[in-house]
Amino acid sequence: MLFIDFSALSELAAVSARVTQPCSCCSVPLDAWQRLPTSLELDRFEEVGTLREDPYEEPTFAEYHPNGTRYDSADAPIAPRYFPANLSQVSRCLNCGRHYLRYNEAGGYFTELRIRALRPELLADAPL
């Protein structure tokens, strides 16, 4: 899978920000990380690439919240080197062209697909 660096991610976010048409992919607010809404049809998304640079390296589970946000905050930064962005794939809606981050949350006895809209104003090229 194609690795997406920060520059390419910024370009994809800018593309998403320019989309103004209504679409079923944004009928539910996806500003913060949340489980995949049942209203989204996965077959209407295509994977563009991954933010995981090395699939064999153990990613950090540290989060990046310099302004006191939390994982589920709509204004939490999207920092590709930090959890959960560092486990994410970038997907594009085939209907409208908006981009989203998706990852599989694997907790104790379950797995759950999580999704978040890619918003350019929240991108943070923060070093580890």
Q: What is the pLDDT of residues 13-48, one digit of tens each?
A: 999 999 999 999 988 999 999 999 988 888 999 999
pTM of the model: 0.94
Residues spanned by the domain of 76? 6-122
| Region at 56 (left for phi over 0; alpha for psi -120 to 50; beta for the rest) | alpha
Q: Check residue 109 and give its pLDDT.
A: 80
* Within a domain: 26: yes
* Within a domain: 38: yes
Question: Which range, of 38-42, 50-54, 115-119, averages the lowest pLDDT?
Answer: 38-42
* Within a domain: 128: no
Q: Give the total number of structural domains in the chain.
A: 1
Q: Tokens 């679409």 appear where? A: 23
* Within a domain: 64: yes
* Within a domain: 88: yes
* Within a domain: 17: yes
* Within a domain: 100: yes
Q: What are the angstrom distances between the C-alpha of 107 and each of 57, 99, 104?
A: 19, 25, 10
